[in-house]
Structure formats: structure tokens, C-alpha cells
Amino acid sequence: MPGKRAIRPLGGLAALGALALGFQLVAGEQNINGAIYVVVSTFCLIAAVLMITNRNPVYAALWFAVVTLCVCGLFLLQSAPFLAAASIIVYAGAIIVTFLFVIMLAQQSGSSGYDQSSRQPLFASIVAFTLLGTMLMTFQSWGEQHAHTQVSEAALPKTIGTATVVHAASRPTEKEQVGELRGLGRALFSDFLFSVEIAGTLLLIASIGAIALAPRRAQGTL
Amino acid sequence: MGFESINSAINLVLPEVVLIATTCVMFLAAPFLVAENGAAAPGIRHRWGALALLAISVAGWFWMNSGLVPINDGPFRLDGLSYYIRGTTLVFGAVISLMLWSQVDDSKAAECQALLLAILAGVNFTVAANDLVVLFLGLELVSIPTYVLLALPRRDRESQEATIKYFLLSAFSSAVVLYGFALLYGATGTTHFVGIAQAIGGNHSGEFSKLLPLSVALIVAGLGFRVTAVPFHFYAPDVFQGSPAFAAGMLSLIPKIVGFAALVRVLGISVADTAFDMNLDSLASIVKPLLAMLAVVTMLLGNLMALRQTNIHRLMAYSSVAHAGYMLVGLTIGDRGQIATGVSAMLFYLVAYGVMTLGVFAVLCAISPSDRPIKDLHDLNGISRHHSAAALMLAVFLFSLAGLPPSGGFLGKMNLFLAAWSEGTMLGKYLAYIMAFNAMVSAVYYLRIVAAVYLKPGTGPTTMHMSAPAMVASVFCMVATFAMFVSPQAIWDRARMKDPSAVVVVSPTEVKSSMSEAIDGLPAESPASLEETLPSSSLPQNIPGGISVPGERAGSTPSASVESGPPDSRSESTATTPESSAP
């Protein structure tokens, strides 16, 4: 574990800085969305750096899960709850588990370093408190309707510079459909119907290709 | 977008539907025709090959009966570029299918041919895309079957190394392209090309969003991998070396077609929203210095590295890098150029390059003994004594690659040279000079192979085994090489089939101003008036094929003074029909 000693203070300092910055924003502008944005995106960047610098593939996979969770937080801020939920299920759930399976199957011999050091109280506390704080902030802003509409406006740029975007394709037509499953489904199966079909073809070819590539045993079964 | 345009969109992609349906049928049927131990009935590859050729022919029939469709708000766009590239893809797909015919086992023939069909469909989706999402999915529909097609035929170490290298770098480049698309979406707020053009075009101050240059540079970098532009070419020699000849031939052509088609599509987004209009308002203008630099470095390094190679696959890999540089010159010139516009010269050269490069690999496929493929240059020594016809064809292709006169390669290089020369800037003149110098350098290593084939004492394979389908493919390529020199008009007309309303006559500034007025005159925030927003100035006056699309109406703006090219002459282009390549 060469990098671990260096990672701890780095992560702690970065997290403290992010929290301080976030609280300063809260105190300064009374803008809870801004604070959440700063905290989540800071964690996202830190986790991304740790993901690509960590030499241990298991830790890298776990940092990738953190990055995904933070990005899901950003999706929530953009009032896209379905996208966030789907990303958590697909990436933080299925893909990470697959990664870990592959890593564990690839290193079958011997016990690895991360089997012994599963207990990290300081780090666990930081993460837990962050989670608690985020949840409290969410509850606090639960009833604030204006926050929701504000985010919806932000999610829909009507103008680019001085230009007005008048094209209706690939954007929800009505404001209340933003982030709703209904609007997403409508967009997917009307505007992007052919894209969905092509993506389905792509998945079919990828899966058949994987089966075709799998080595065939002499007995005949895979 | 209305339901009519979605419903009618299926009519625009009938060739691709045919290809993908055949792919599914082959995937489904193939496992039942393979025994438990993995062996298939001998000779079954002929049936699969015939089925693939049949599918390509049917797709080609649909392609020939497809017409141009005005730029609409649907998911697909059928303009001159789509028409040209789709036909090119189908013809070369038939050639590659013939090359693949005898190079794979009977038990894997079905999957390989099916994957090839899927790749062709991916190219066609990419070029017909009217939306960044469809464009990206089309690119992936080319990449993912390519990984499998590289790994499937053989299982030796070289082949695995080639596959892994191509897989990792291709996935990386796809991620870069996707990042660029995401930034483009962030800068314009839509993934639809029409919407992007409006978002950029409505910016009268000429001040682009800060994200635009970054996104375009990322897209060029990611697609530069596909076309093997120089900083992204590292995979090419190793992958070509480890691949069978048909796969190397496919890799030298198909990613280039799809890469350049996507580049023209994305970089051509401009105010006027005409696909080829690379004028000062298009995204290409942002990265013109980058494109010029890529072109120069790609040409020089490709040719200089090719001089040192002794493995013919590596040599052809560097040769394909160099030719990508020539085509990038055309892309840099864009829509300028008085005698020949850059993009049309590039599209013409794409076909010429495909004919001669696939020809070289088809000859290699044809004369390689099945147990020991020809890879080294000295395997070709004195091969003219055993395979006089194959040696003659190889010499023709190499002369054409070097750009010597009675061949399509000469005409293609001359078009590119004239386009660069007549652009009217110092940059264009320098690019033309560098291109001429490079063509001279490239002659050295191409003619060295010809000398080995004809003058050196023979050490190569002496068996008279010839693969008949590959021979058919190489004969077709040779005929096409000469045909492109003797009567290039049919292909040249297609390559120049710009936006049907022919911006040549109307100066770009006029189109721009009329478009700006059209955009200005609109009430903002009214999606119902979208169809009027669509560039009515670029609608063709007579739409062949008659696929009606909402929003189609007679243009009243500059195109009225322009004769759109008579689309009836399409049937004359028998040189590009896939049927002529079928055995």
C-alpha cells in the first residue's frame, strides 16, 4: 500500500476544504443548491483523481463507485431523478460488482492487502457525516418549491449566448415534463426511437460476439 | 418532431434494415448448422458468402431507388453525402465479403459475414445521421463488430495482440468522441444537427461559446483515430501486422470511410446547414489550423515510416496513414477551391483509395497459401513467375497507389492537388506542395514492391492455389481502378453532388445572409414553426424518389436561380453498383 499514507491527508484536506467552501456559500448566498453542487462536484473530482491514481484495482473500482454516486447527485440537482436512479443501479450496482468479480477471479492465489484493512474509522466517519449532511440538506429543501422550478430552468437552456434555440428535437416540450419518467419515455420512444433501436442492435451484436469469442471446449458445450 | 417524420424515417434506412435483418438471420441460423464439436459442413461458407452478397445486393437495390430528402427534423438525413457514401460502402462491402470468403473456417463464416454486414449498416447509419446520438451509435456499430471480426478468425498470439490493441485504443477514441459530443450538446443545448446549426448560426456576433472549440477539437481527435491521422495512428502497424489480410484491408478502408463521413457531417455544421458547406461559418473553420497540421504531419510521417518497412502489412498500414493525410488535405480545404472543392476531391479520393488498397489486400488474399499467409516483402519476390495475373494486378494497384497516370489514384491525387492549389491561400499552396512531395516519396516504396515482384528471383510460395472469390474481388478492383481513370464522370458527379441546391452558384455569403434573415424572421420559442425554420433555401426543387417529409416545400430563396443536378442520371453510375461486383 504505497499510496495510502498520502491519500488519507489529501482526501481529508480536500473534503474539509469542500465543506468549508460549501458552508461559506450557504452563509453567503443562502443558496442550498449551490452548496450541494460544490460539495458533490468536489467529491466527484477528488474521487475521480483517486480512481485513476490508485494502483490497487479494487480501490479504483470502489472510487469509481463514488464518482458514479457523485455524478448521480449532480443529476438529482439537475432534477433528473430517474437518470440518477438508473445510473446508481447500472453503474454503482451492476458494473462495479462485475468489476469486483473480474478482479477477484483474476487474483485467485494468495490473500490481498485489502482483506486485512477493512476497518477505517476516520474515513468511515467522514463519509457517514457527509451522507447525513446531504440527506439533511435534502430534507430541508424538500418543500421549497422555488428551488425545484429554478433547477428546471437551469436544466433547459433556452438561449446560447445571444442566440435562441428554437429547435424542439431532443428536449422536453413542456416544462413540467423535465425529469419525469413520462417525458423521458416520450423522448426515448418518439424522438429517439431509431436511436433506441440501433442501440438494441448494438447490444445484440456485442452479446453474440462475446458468445462467439468464448473458447469452445472439445466436448462441445461452452 | 412529428409522428409523420418518425414513421416515414423507416423508409429512409431500408438498405440498413435489410443488412441488419440479414445479420440477425445469420446469427440465428448459424449455431444450428454447426455440430457439437464446433465443426461445420465443409463448403458451407460458400452459402453464407452468397447470402451476404445477396443481402448487399438487395440493400444496393434499395439504395439505388432511394432519393434525396430535404434536410428535416427526423433522425436521418439523406443528402448527397449520404447517397455517395452509402453506395461506396455497399460496393466495398461486397468486395470485402469476397475477400473474407475463403479466409475463415466454415464454422465461423456465418458470424464473420454477419459482422461485416453489421459494420456496413453502421457506416450507413453514421453517414445518414441527423443527430449526434445516431452518429455515435453508428460509429459504435462499426467499432464493436470490428473487434469481434478481428478476434474471431484466428486464435494465435499475434491476432490476439492486434485485437486487444485495437479494442483498447478504439474504446478510448470513442470515449473522446463522446466527450466532444457531450460538450457540443452542452454548448448548443440540443443533439440535433439542425438545432445545433441554428444555435451556432443564430450567434450573429460570431462569438462562439468557449466550449465549441474544445468540443470540436475533441471530436477531431477521436475521429482522427478512425482515419489514422498521425498522433493517433500508433495502433495501425501492429494491428495490421497481426490481422489476416481481409481484416487488414477492411481496417484500412472502412474506418476511414466512417471517420471522414462523420468528420464532414460534424464539421460541416454551419449557418447555412448544408452538409458540405465548409465556409467560414462552419465548425470546420474553428479547427482549420488543426486540420492542416494533422494533414501535413500525417502525410510526412506515414510516408517516411513506410520507407523502412519490410512487412507488407505494416507497409500498407503506414501507406494508409499517408493516404489519410492526403484526404485530410481535402478536408482542410473544405468547400473552397475553384477547380475542385476540397471535400468532393476527398470523397473521390476515398473511392480511388478504397479500390486500390482493397485490391492489394485482395491479391494477397488470393495468392496466400492457407497455412502460411504472405506477410513479408520477400515472400513476394519473383511471384510473377507463378502468378502472372496476380502480379500484374498487384503492379496496377501499386502504380495507382503511387499516383501514376493511367489509374484512378492519379486522378484522385490530381483532384486533391488542384483543390488545394486553387483554394487561393498560401496555406492551400503549401499543402499542395507538401502533397506533391509526399506522392514522390511514396513512389519509392510502392515501386520497390513492384521491383521485388518482377525482378527478384523467386522465393515466395510456389503453389498455384488461388482463392476464386478473392480473385473476383481483385479483378473487380483492377477494372474499377482503370474505370476511374477512363470515365470518372459518374463518380465525380456523385462526389460533387453537394447539397442539392448547389451552393456553388450562390455565394456562401448570400446563403448565410438569407439564412440569417430566415432565422431572424421567426418568432422565437415556437416549435410549431420549426418546419419553416428548416432551411428552405436548401430544399431541392425536384426530389427524386418522392419520399415526402413534413416541411417539404418549394424553396423561394436563392436556390430558385440554381439548377439542381438532374438526379435521373443516377442510373448511369453502373460502375458503383454492387451487382457488378457479384460473381
Q: Lowest mean pLDDT of B32-36, B88-92, B476-480, B521-525, name the range.
A: B521-525
| Minimum Cα–Cα distance from A156: chain B residue | B189
Mutate to test the interface with A, among B72, B136, B192 (most CBs of A within 10 A): B192
Which amino acid is present at B18? V
What are the phi and psi torsion angles at B403 (to 5°)? Answer: 90, 30
Interface residue A171 vs chain B (CB under 8 A): yes
The CATH architecture that domain A31-109 belongs to is Up-down Bundle (1.20)
Burial, A67: exposed, middle or buried (Cβ in 10 Å; 0-12, 13-18, 19+)? buried
- Please tell me the distance in Å from A8's CA to the nearest CA on chain B: 30
Strand partners, B129: B76
The DSSP annotation for B91-158 comes to HHHHHHHHHHHTTS-TTTHHHHHHHHHHHHHHHHHHHTBSBHHHHHHHHHHHHHHHHHHHHSS--SHH
Those residues whose C-beta lies under 8 Å from the C-beta of residue B473, and which sit 6 or more positions away, are: B95, B96, B98, B99, B358, B362, B365, B366, B581
Mutate to test the interface with B, among A75, A170, A188, A189 (most CBs of B within 10 A): A170
pLDDT 10s per residue in chain A (222 long)? 445 556 666 777 777 777 776 666 655 555 677 778 888 888 899 999 998 888 888 888 889 999 999 999 998 888 788 888 888 998 888 888 888 888 877 765 555 555 556 677 888 888 888 888 888 877 776 655 444 444 444 444 455 445 454 444 445 455 545 556 777 787 788 778 889 999 999 999 999 988 888 776 655 554
Interface residue A206 vs chain B (CB under 8 A): yes
* CB atoms A166 and B13 under 8 Å: no
Counting every residue written for chain A, the total comes to: 222
- On whether the CB atoms of residues B515 and B554 are closer than 8 A, the answer is no
What distances in angstroms separate CA B530 from CA B491, B523, B560, one per listed residue? 35, 10, 22
Tell which B residues from 506 to 535 touch A, by Cβ distance under 8 Å.
522, 524-527, 529-530, 533
Q: What percent of chain B has pLDDT over 90?
A: 34
| Minimum Cα–Cα distance from A198: chain B residue | B137
pLDDT in the model for residue A25: 60
- Please tell me the distance in Å from B530's CA to the nearest CA on chain A: 7
Interface residue A162 vs chain B (CB under 8 A): yes
pLDDT in the model for residue A216: 66
| Minimum Cα–Cα distance from B1: chain A residue | A169
Interface residue A188 vs chain B (CB under 8 A): no
Highest mean pLDDT among B3-12, B199-208, B338-347, B514-523: B338-347
| Grid cell for residue A11 | 482526501
User: CA-to-CA distance for B123 and B137, rounded, in angstroms?
Assistant: 10
Give per-residue pLDDT as tens, B485-542: 888 877 887 777 654 433 333 333 333 344 344 444 333 333 333 333 334 333 333 3
Size of interface A-B (CB pairs under 8 A): 149
User: CA-to-CA distance for A112 and A106, rounded, in angstroms?
Assistant: 12
Q: Nearest 5°: CA angle at B457, between B452 and B458? A: 85
Those residues whose C-beta lies under 8 Å from the C-beta of residue A129, and which sit 6 or more positions away, are: none
| Minimum Cα–Cα distance from A155: chain B residue | B189
What's the rounded mean pLDDT across residues B49-70?
A: 89
Q: Which of B59, B156, B148 is nearest to B110 (CA)?
A: B148
- Please tell me the distance in Å from B196's CA to the nearest CA on chain A: 8
Of A165, A213, A216, the CB nearest to B199: A165
Q: Quick count: other Cβ atoms within 10 Å of Cβ A9?
A: 9
Contacts of A198 in chain B (CB under 8 A): 125, 134, 137-138, 141
Give per-residue pLDDT as tens, B300-354: 999 999 988 888 999 999 999 999 999 999 888 877 766 678 888 899 999 999 9
Give per-residue pLDDT as tens, B255-295: 999 999 999 888 877 644 444 444 445 777 778 888 888 99
User: CA-to-CA distance for B297 and A147, rounded, in angstroms?
Assistant: 52
Which amino acid is present at B430? Y
Interface residue A218 vs chain B (CB under 8 A): yes
Mutate to test the interface with A, among B16, B73, B190 (most CBs of A within 10 A): B190
Ordered alpha helix ranges (H), B189-278: 193-201, 211-226, 235-242, 245-267
Element at A163 (helix H, strand E):
strand A163-164
The full set of domain ranges for chain A reads 31-109
Interface residue B192 vs chain A (CB under 8 A): yes
pLDDT in the model for residue A112: 57
pLDDT in the model for residue B460: 55
ipTM of the complex: 0.78
Give per-residue pLDDT as tens, B444-457: 999 989 998 888 87
Q: Is residue B178 pLDDT above 60, yes or no?
A: yes
pLDDT in the model for residue A77: 85
The pairing of strands A159-160 and A163-164 is antiparallel
Contacts of B148 in chain A (CB under 8 A): 205, 209-210, 212-213
Local structure of residue B565 (DSSP, 8 states): P
Give chain B's radius of gyration (CA, Å).
Answer: 23
Q: Quick count: other Cβ atoms within 10 Å of Cβ A124?
A: 10
Residue with cell 452518429: B135
The model's pTM: 0.77
Q: How many H-runs (helices) and E-runs (strands) does chain B carry?
A: 21, 0
Q: Lowest mean pLDDT of B5-9, B307-311, B402-406, name the range.
A: B5-9
What are the phi and psi torsion angles at B131 (to 5°)? Answer: -155, 145
Q: Is residue B360 pLDDT above 90, yes or no?
A: yes
Mutate to test the interface with A, among B136, B198, B212 (most CBs of A within 10 A): B198
Q: Lowest mean pLDDT of A107-111, B48-52, B60-64, B365-369, name the range.
A: A107-111
| Minimum Cα–Cα distance from A158: chain B residue | B189
